[in-house]
A and B are shown apart, each in its own frame.
Chain A
Amino acid sequence: EDLSEINDNPNNPTRVDPASLFADAQLDLSTLYWGRALNFEFGMLMVQHFAQNEYAEDSRYNQNVSTFNGSWNGLYSRPMMDLMEAKKLVENQREQFGDAVTDNRLAALTIMEVFGMQAITDLWGDVPYSEAFQVNEFPNPSYDAQSTIYADLISKLNNAINSIDENASGFSAGDNLYGGDMAMWKKFGNSLKLRMGMRLADVESTTASTVVSEAIASGVFESNADAAYLVFGSDQRIANPFYIDETVNARDDFAISLTLTDYMEASNDPRLEYYAKPTPSGDIVGMPYGLTDGEAFELKGSTSRPADAIRQATAPAKLMTYSEVLFLQAEAVERGYVSGTAVDLFNDAILASMEDWGVDGADAATYAAARVAAYPSMDWEQAIGEEKWVALYTNGLEAFAEWRRLDYPQLTVPEAAVITEIPTRALYTSDELGNNANSVPEANSLTGSVYWDVN
C-alpha cells in the first residue's frame, strides 16, 4: 500500500452538493442572528426589549473584548464561509446545470451573503471584507471602511436581483427559506436592498433615494407570507435558539423589560400578551432595565418571561418581516424617495405586525387607528421609530440598528451602568486583537459610531 493513500481521509467527504452548504449557511446564520449572544444578550438588551434578571452584566454594558468572540468567529467562519464555498461549487457546475439555474443559485447565495455581511458591518462598522475568505492570499485580512462595504454589497445585490430568472429553478433542496422559488428570492433581495438603502439615508441621501426607489419599484414583500422566516426544527440540534437556551441549557436569565411593557401598556398594545408570559400571580410585569445583580435577583421571581410561543422549538427566525418593509416604505415616502401616503403605510405596517403575532383583527384595527390618529402630532422619526421598535421585538439586531439610525425611542442609561452611554456598536474581539493584531483598528469602543449612524 502506498504510504500517501493511508492518509486518505475516510471520515469526511471531499465533494459535496453546494445545496448542503447553503442549507447549513441558512440555518447557522439564522441561529446566530436569532441566538443568545447577539440577539437576546445584546441587541434585545441594548434596545431594552429584555432586561437581565440575574448575573446582570450585559444589561449594564459590562461587555469586553472577549464578549463577541463567538459571534464574530461564528458568523465569518461558518455561514459566511459556507456561502463563499457554495458559490465556487455552483460556478463549477455551470455546464451541468446551465446558465439560468446557475445564475439563480448564485443570486440566492449572494442575497444571503449580503444579508449576513450587512448584519456584521452594522454591528462592528469597519470589518474585513475585500480580503476576507482568502486564507492563503490574505492570512491577516485588512479592514475595509463600512462605506465601501455598503457600496459593494448594494452592487452585488443589484447583480443578483437582475440575474434572477423567475421561470427557472434555483436550489430546491437545501433552500429552507423559499424552497427555490426565485420570485420570492427576488422580493427578498429587493426588500433587503430597501433596508440597506434606507440605512444610508442620513449619510448618502442621494444614493439612498436611488437604491430605495429602485428596490420598491422592482418589488418588495407584499404580505406576511413573503417574509424571510427560517423555520427551525423540533429536533434540538436544529431548534430555535430561545428554546435551546431555556429547555436544553436550562437558562432563565431574561425578563421582558419594564421599558417595553410601560410603553405597550400606555398604548394598550394587544401584542403584549403575545410578547410576554404572566407571572405566577397572573400579571405581565416588566423588569426594570439595568439593575445590579442583587436588585435584579430579588425581582426575578415576580417578573415576566418572554411568551412561550417565542420559545417554541419550531418558532422561526424572522430575518426580515413584512411589517419592517412597510415601515421602510412609510419612511421612504416621508423622505420623498417615493410617492405615496406615509400614514397608510404606517397603518399597514402595524397591522402586518399584529397579524404576524396572531392578534385578532378587530383588536389590531383599534390599536392601529389610535396610532394613526396620533401620527400627525409627532415627528415621523418618532412615530415610526417607536412603533418599529415595538414591532421588532425579538428581532434584536435590526431593532438595535434602527434605534441607532432613527434615535427613537429615547432610551435612558440605567444608573447601575458601567459606562455613561448606551453602546452603539460591538467591540472588536480579543481573538482579532491576538490573531490579526496588525490589521484590527485601534479605535475600539462600545460607544463609537458606525458609518451610517449620525445623530
Chain B
Amino acid sequence: QEKSVSGTVTGENGEGIPGVNVLVKGTNRGVVTDIQGSYSITVPSSDAVLQFSSIGYITEEVTVGSQSSIDVVMEEDIEELTEVVVTALGVSREKRSVGSAVQNVDGETLAQAKETNIVNSLQGQVAGVQIQGSQGALGGASRITIRGANSFLGENQPLFVVDGMPINNANYASSDQQAGFGGGAYDYGNAAADINPDDIESVTVLKGASATALYGTRGSNGVILITTKSGKGKKGIGVSVNSTWTFEEPLALLEHQQRYGGGAITSSPSGFVEFNENGTDYLAPVYSKDGAWGPKYDPSVNVRHWDSWDPQAANYGETRPWVAPPVGYEAFFETGMTAQNSVAFGGANEEGSFRLSYTNLSQEGIMPNSELQRNTVSFNVSYNLTEKLTVSAAGSLVNQGADGRNATGYDNKNPMQAFTQWWQTQLDVNRLEQNQTWIDGTHYTWNPAGPIINDAGTLIGFDPSPYYFDNPYWVRNNFLQEDSRDRFYGNLNLNYEIVEGLSFNFKAMRDGYTFQAKEGSPIGTVGQSSYSEVTRTFAESNYEAKLLYEKYFNNDFSLNAMIGGNLMNQSTTFESIETVGGLTIPNYFNIANSADNPAVDTYETEQAIRSVFATASFGFREMLFLDLAVRSDWASTLPADNNQYYYPSVSTSFVFTELAGLQGVDWLSFGKVRAGYGQAANAPNPYALSPYYVNQQPAFGVPRYTVPNTNPNPELGPEKTNEIEFGIELGFFQNRLSLDLSYYDRTTEDQIFTVPTSATTGYTARYLNAGSMKNSGIEVVLNGTPIKTDDFAWDMSLNFATYNNEVVSLTEGVDNIIVNNTWAADVRVQKGYPYMALFGQEFQRNENGELIIGSNGLPIAESSRKFLGSAIADFTGGFRNTFTYKGLSLSALVDFQGGGVIHSTSLQWAKYSGMLPETAEGDIREGMVVEGVKEDGTPNDIEVDAQTYYQSTWSVAGPNVYDASFVKLREVRLGYTLPKSLLGNLPVRDVTIGVLGRNLAILYSDLPYLDPQGVTGSGNVQGLENAQVPTTRSLGFDLSFKF
C-alpha cells in the first residue's frame, strides 16, 4: 500500500539541512530535502525503511510503520563511506557495496574553484587524475587522464557523462600544435568545457575497468559522471543567484637580461650599423636580427631606434640613448577578467520538480583584444504522470563565442614566440603600442628588414617590411580570430514501475553542436596573408532501454539485476574553405578576396555502436557484495565478420566491520576490502579498413589523386585492456579519519594504432593491432577532521597517486615511434621505456661528472640521443584544508606532481638569442671559460666567446631538460555566510560572500621562470614546452544568495 510521508530533517542545532538524500531503502526511489530541510516522499508500504543520508552526517534509518510525518535529527559525521554514489549507467548504489574505485567530488567543492573549464576544476581533487594543458590561454584546452595513458596514439581521456548522456570532449589541436609548432594554430579548447560548473550537483570519477565496463568502448579510459542540479525537494519556487568576478595576471614569465641590447654587434667601430643620412652620421642597432647579442647598454650613446623611420612622423630621425627599456614586455599583458553570473529557479510539488538556470560567462584574457562569452540555459524537469510512470528531461543549451584567442606555439601570431625566444631586449613595449603603424597605415614593426646603405655608407632607402616578426600589438589588433559554438545536449527519460521491484526505463539522449571558426592574417604581416572559415558539426544520439529488478530476501540477501541495450550513432562533418595565394585587398577578410581559387576541403564521418548489457549484484547482510556485469558491443568501424566483442567485469566487496567480532572495536568504525577485474576494448576510427585514394589540387585541368600515407587494414580487431584492482577502505574514531587505498594493474594489448612504417613500403604508416602497454599504481585518499567543536572544525583531505608505466612491445622491426619532436628533443613511445619518453643529446662527462671540453673550448656532446626521462609524472596529489568557524570558512588546496621531465624550447632559444639573464652574467660576454676538464683531464682553461658558446650548444637537449615536479598553491577561498539573524525579515537567505584566489603561486619548481605545467599539448604529446602562453593567477570574489 503506497503512502506518502513528509517531514523535516534538522541538525543538532535545530536548523534544517538541505540536500539530504531520502531513499526508500533497497530501492531507487528517493528525494532530496529542500532548503528548509523538508521532504516529501511516497513509500511502497509501511514496511518501508527510509534512509536519510548526507555528506557529513551519520546516515539515519527509520521504519515508516504507521507514521505519515517523520522528522529526523541527524548527527554530524565526516564519514562519507555510507554515502550513495552514482555508478555506471546512472545506477545509485551505497558506496559500501561498490567493489571498485570511485571517488566523488561534490558540486560545492567544485564550484568553489570558480574555474570555467570543468576539467581544470578537478585539478588536485581526485587521486589518479592528472590535468595538463594551457591553463593560461583564454578558453584553452585542458587534458585529463585517469590512471595514465593506455593507448599509444589513440584517445586517452575519459568519457564525460552528464545525467547519463555521453558528452563530446573533442579537441581539434593537431599533433604539431601540441608540440608547440603548428603554424600558430589557435587554441580552441576542449568541448567538455561547455559543461557549466554552476549546474553541477556532483561529480563521480569511475577509475578502473571493473567500474567502467558497462560503458563499453568509450569507458576504457575511465568515466567522469556528472549529475546536474535538479529542483527536487524545493517546495514552491526558489531562486538562487551566484556571481563571481576574478581578475587574472600572468603567473610566471621569462626574465630578460638587462645589460645588453638587441640585434648584433657589427664589424663597424661602434658595433652598431653606421650610416650617413643628409650629412648626419647615425648609429642604429641591427633591426633585422631577432636576438639580444647587441652592444652593451651605454646611456651616452644615442641611436636611431626602430620607431624613428616614419618620414611623416615628428620623431623621424630621432635618436635616443642605448639603455635597458623602462617598460619591458611584461607590460604587454593586460589584467584579465572573468565574470560568471548565474540565476536558477527551482521548485517541486507532489507531482514533480523543475529547475531552470541561466549562466553567463564573460572573459577578457590577458592578451590584448581577447574575449570569450558563454551563455548556458539548463533545465531539469521531472513529472509523475501516474504513480508508476515518471517522465523527466534534462539538458543544456550552450552558446559560446570567442574573439582573439591565443595563437599557440612557435609562430609570429603568438607574441610569446618573440617574448620568450627571439626578442630585442632594449624594446620598450609602450612604444610598440604607440607606433603600431606608420602614419600612412603601414605596419610598423621593431623587426624590419631595415636601412639600405650603399658602399659609401650613405642611406639610400629603408625597407619597413617585417623580417621575422610583426609588432605584437599589431598582431593582436589586426589578425582575425573569431569562433562560435552552438550546442544542445539533453535527454528524455521515462520510468515505469511494472510491478514492485521490477521497472522499465527508457532514455533518449542527444549531444550536438556546430562550431565555426574564422581566421585571418592581414596584408603586411611577415608571412602570406590569408583568410579561412571552418565549420565542424558533431551529433551523437543514444537510445537506451533497461529492465531493472531488485529483490530483498528475508533481510539477508539482496539482488539487483539489470538487462538492457543501447544504440549509439555518431556523425561529424568538417568543411573548410581558405584563400590561396594571399589576399588582394587590405582589411577585407573574405573568401572572395583570395588571389587564387580558394581551397575547399570537406570531410565527414559516421559510426555506430550497438550494445546489450546485463548486470547482477548480490548482497549478503550489508556485508558481502558481488557484482557481475557484461556488455557486448557491435561496432561499425570493425570488419563486418569480426565486429563484436565483450566486456566482462566482476567485483566484490567485503565490509569486515560488520562481522560480529569487530562490532565492539572503538577505534575502527568501518572497514572494507574490495577486488575487481574488468576488461575494456577499443574499436578503430571510421574508414580504417579499406583502401581509397586521396584527392589533390588538380593540375592543368586534370584531377590528381594519390595513394594515402596510411595503409588500411581489413583485418583489424578490437584493442583490449585488462585490469585488476584491489582496495581497502577504513574509517577510524567515529570516522573522523578515513582512508581509501587502491592498487591497480592494467595491460592494454593488441593496440589499434597507425604504426609508423618505412616509407619504402609506399606507406608511412599502417593500421595494425600490435603492441602492449602496462600501467600500475597506488591511489590514496585520506580524509580527516582533526578538530571539531560546536563552532569550529578543521577538515583535511589528501589524495595521492603513483604511476608506473611501461611500453612492453610495439611490433616487429619497429623500435620506437617518435610522437613528436622539437629541434633538440623528441618524445617517443619506445619499447622498454615509459610512455612519452623524452630523448635528446647530453654532453659528455667524466666519471666525476665534469664536462669534457674540446679543443675549441666547447663541451663535447655525446654522439646520439638518449633517454632523459618520461614526460609522465611519477606521482600526483592534492592536499586540502578547510577551517570553519560559525559562518566563516577558509579553504586552501595545494597540489603537486613528482617526477616527469619537460624540455623547454623557450629556454633553448632564449639562451641562443642572448635574452636570458645567464647569457649576460658577470663579464662572460668578454669571454668565458666553460667549467670542466679538457680531454687530457686537466681543468679547462680555453676561453670561448659567450655567443659562440650559447649558439653552439643549443642542439644538445640535456641542459634544457628539467624535472617537471611542482607544488602549487592551487586555490584559497575565504567565505562567510551571513547569519540568519543579520538578515532579519529580508526575503533573501543563505547569503554567502567570499574572496578567492586560484593558481596563486608556484611553491616549488625546478624549471626556471616558466610554469612546468605550461605545455601547449592537450593531447598525448607531453613534455615539450615551446613559447608557452603564461598561465594565470586569479584573484576575485563571489557572492551568492537565495530567495
Interface string of A49-86 (1 = CB under 8 A from B): 00000000000000000100000111111101110110
- A62's closest neighbor in chain B, by CB? B955
Q: How far is the CA of A24 from the CA of B691 in the complex (A)?
A: 18
The answer to whether B697 touches A436, judged by C-beta atoms less than 8 angstroms apart, is no
Chain B neighbourhood of A151, CB < 8 A: none
The answer to whether B760 touches A141, judged by C-beta atoms less than 8 angstroms apart, is yes
CB of A28 closer than 8 Å to a CB of B: yes
Residues of A1-17 whose CB lies within 8 A of B: 2-4, 6-7, 9-14, 16-17
* Among listed B87-95, B322-330, B682-690, interface-contacting one: B682-690
Given A234-B596, A250-B527: A23 and B759 interface contact (C-beta under 8 Å): no
Pick the contact of B766: A28, A66, A135 (CB < 8 A).
Answer: A135
Pick the contact of B691: A14, A238, A437 (CB < 8 A).
Answer: A14
Number of interface residues of B (CB under 8 A): 74
CB of B526 closer than 8 Å to a CB of A: yes
* Among listed B76-84, B231-239, B313-321, B703-711, interface-contacting one: B703-711
Q: How far is the CA of A281 from the CA of B599 in the complex (A)?
A: 40
Chain A neighbourhood of B761, CB < 8 A: 76, 132-135, 138-139, 141
CB of A27 closer than 8 Å to a CB of B: yes
* Among listed B155-163, B809-817, B997-1005, interface-contacting one: B809-817
Chain A neighbourhood of B764, CB < 8 A: 73, 77, 431
Interface string of A149-183 (1 = CB under 8 A from B): 00000000000000000000000011010000000
* Among listed A199-207, A263-271, A291-299, A396-404, interface-contacting one: A291-299
Q: How far is the CA of A234 from the CA of B702 in the complex (A)?
A: 15
Chain B neighbourhood of A341, CB < 8 A: none
Pick the contact of B757: A14, A139, A297 (CB < 8 A).
Answer: A139
The answer to whether A298 touches B706, judged by C-beta atoms less than 8 angstroms apart, is no
Q: How far is the CA of A24 from the CA of B708 in the complex (A)?
A: 12
Chain B neighbourhood of A218, CB < 8 A: none
Pick the contact of B696: A24, A134, A432 (CB < 8 A).
Answer: A24
Interface string of B595-618 (1 = CB under 8 A from A): 011010011101110100000000
The answer to whether A127 touches B760, judged by C-beta atoms less than 8 angstroms apart, is yes
Q: How far is the CA of A141 from the CA of B758 in the complex (A)?
A: 8
Pick the contact of B607: A6, A77, A293, A298 (CB < 8 A).
Answer: A6
The answer to whether A135 touches B640, judged by C-beta atoms less than 8 angstroms apart, is no
A30 CB → nearest B CB, Å: 10
B339 CB → nearest A CB, Å: 41
Q: How far is the CA of A282 from the CA of B709 in the complex (A)?
A: 47
CB of A439 closer than 8 Å to a CB of B: yes
Residues of B798-827 whose CB lies within 8 A of A: 812-818, 821
Given A6-B607, A128-B760, A176-B700: A14 and B289 interface contact (C-beta under 8 Å): no
Chain B neighbourhood of A135, CB < 8 A: 711, 757, 761-763, 766
The answer to whether A248 touches B528, judged by C-beta atoms less than 8 angstroms apart, is yes
Chain A neighbourhood of B705, CB < 8 A: 13, 16, 20-21, 24
Pick the contact of B813: A127, A128, A235, A437 (CB < 8 A).
Answer: A437
The answer to whether B528 touches A4, judged by C-beta atoms less than 8 angstroms apart, is no
Given A24-B696, A297-B289: A430 and B818 interface contact (C-beta under 8 Å): yes
A62 CB → nearest B CB, Å: 9
The answer to whether B756 touches A435, judged by C-beta atoms less than 8 angstroms apart, is yes
The answer to whether A72 touches B452, judged by C-beta atoms less than 8 angstroms apart, is no
- A7's closest neighbor in chain B, by CB? B636
A28 CB → nearest B CB, Å: 7
The answer to whether A9 touches B692, judged by C-beta atoms less than 8 angstroms apart, is yes
Interface string of A239-270 (1 = CB under 8 A from B): 00000000111100000000000000000000
A406 CB → nearest B CB, Å: 30
The answer to whether B687 touches A235, judged by C-beta atoms less than 8 angstroms apart, is no
Chain B neighbourhood of A235, CB < 8 A: 580-581, 596-597, 697
Q: How far is the CA of A11 from the CA of B603 in the complex (A)?
A: 6
Q: How far is the CA of A11 from the CA of B705 in the complex (A)?
A: 13
- A14's closest neighbor in chain B, by CB? B692
Q: How far is the CA of A80 from the CA of B761 in the complex (A)?
A: 10
Given A84-B762, A431-B756, A436-B758: A301 and B596 interface contact (C-beta under 8 Å): no
CB of B694 closer than 8 Å to a CB of A: yes
CB of A280 closer than 8 Å to a CB of B: yes
Residues of B175-232 whose CB lies within 8 A of A: none
Pick the contact of B643: A3, A139, A280, A297 (CB < 8 A).
Answer: A3
The answer to whether B707 touches A82, judged by C-beta atoms less than 8 angstroms apart, is yes
Q: How far is the CA of A196 from the CA of B568 in the complex (A)?
A: 60
The answer to whether B607 touches A237, judged by C-beta atoms less than 8 angstroms apart, is no
15 CB contacts below 8 A, A to B, read: A9-B692, A13-B695, A14-B692, A16-B693, A20-B703, A24-B704, A75-B759, A81-B763, A132-B762, A135-B766, A173-B702, A237-B599, A237-B697, A280-B460, A431-B759
Q: What residues of chain B have their CB less than 8 Å away from a CB belonging to chain A?
A: 264, 266-267, 289, 452, 454-455, 460-461, 526-528, 580-581, 596-597, 599, 602-604, 606-608, 610, 634-637, 639-640, 643, 686-687, 689-697, 699-709, 711, 756-764, 766, 812-818, 821, 947, 951
For the complex of A and B, list the 9 residue pairs with the smallest distance between their C-beta atoms, beginning with the closest.
A81-B762, A4-B640, A436-B758, A128-B760, A12-B692, A140-B813, A73-B759, A135-B761, A6-B636
